[in-house]
Structure 1
Amino acid sequence: MLEKGARPNYKTWEILMEGYVQSRQMDKVVDAMKKCLSLLKSCHWRPPFKLVETITKHFEEQGNVDDAYRYIKVLQRLNLTTLPLYKSLVRAYINADVVPPNIPEMIAKDQIVMDEEMDKLIIRAGKIDITCNG
C-alpha cells in the first residue's frame, strides 16, 4: 500500500506501527510515528500510550539522546508527556553518559508530579562526569 503512493490515515499508521513493533523494525516505527504525529494537527486521535512508550524505550536502549529529546519535545507540544516517558528520557541520557537538560523544569512545565524513582534518576544523571575523565 505505501509503495503505491497511498496516503494512510492515523489509524492505518497505528496498525503499521504495531506490526513494525512486532517485527522489531524500530526505525520504521519511529518514522511512522513522525508521520502519524504530523496528522494530529487536524484530528482528535492520539497514539496509544504503548506505542509512544515503545519509541521512548527504543531511544533509551540506544542511548539516542538527541532523538529522545526531540521526541519528548514533540510529545510535549501535543500534551502527550507522562512521568514514565520522562523516566525513559533520563535513562537514555544515563545510558549515553550525557548530562541531561533541566528535566525537572520540563516536568514542572507539563504539570507532572515527580516520584521517588524519578528523583533518584535525576540524582544519578547529575553524577555523570562531564570532564570525560571517568
Structure 2
Amino acid sequence: MPTYRCPNCGREISRPEGTYYCKVCGPEFVMERVRSRREWESIGDSIVREVYDAVHYWCWNVSPEPASECFSTHAIEDLYSLASMYLKEDVDEKLKLLQEMPSDIYDKFNRKLQSMLERTAREIERKYGRAKSVF
C-alpha cells in the first residue's frame, strides 16, 4: 500500500491508492503520495537508460566530433543537464522527478550514467584507437 504525507504537519498514513485529506490539519490539506526507495530507483534507472540511449545516438550519428571524445565530454556533465538536453518525451515531468528525487539516489544514478559514458568512451578507444585531433 502506498504511503501518503500531509504537506502541512508531516503526518503519514498507509492506505490504498486514492485521495486523502489530513484529519489533523483539516480538509484543505490533501495528503501527497510518498514514493518508496524502490520506486525512486526504478524511476532513476529508466531515466538513466533513456538519457544514455539518447547520448549514444547523438555521439554516433549526429555529433561532428569523434565518438570517443563525444562520450568523454558528456561524461563530465550531470544527469539533470543531460536529461534536459537529450530527453524528447515528457521532459518537464522527468526533470521534476529528478528534482524531487532524494539526493543519495540522484547521486547514485548520476555516477552510474557518468561511468556508463566513460566506459563506452574507453571501449571505443580500445576498439578503434584514439581519435586524432585536427588543428
The TM-score by the shorter chain falls in which range? under 0.3
Structure with greater helix share of residues: 1
TM-score between the two structures when normalised by the length of structure 1? 0.26
Structure with greater strand share of residues: 2
Q: Larger relative contact order (C-alpha < 8 A, sep ≥ 6)?
A: 2
Larger radius of gyration: 2
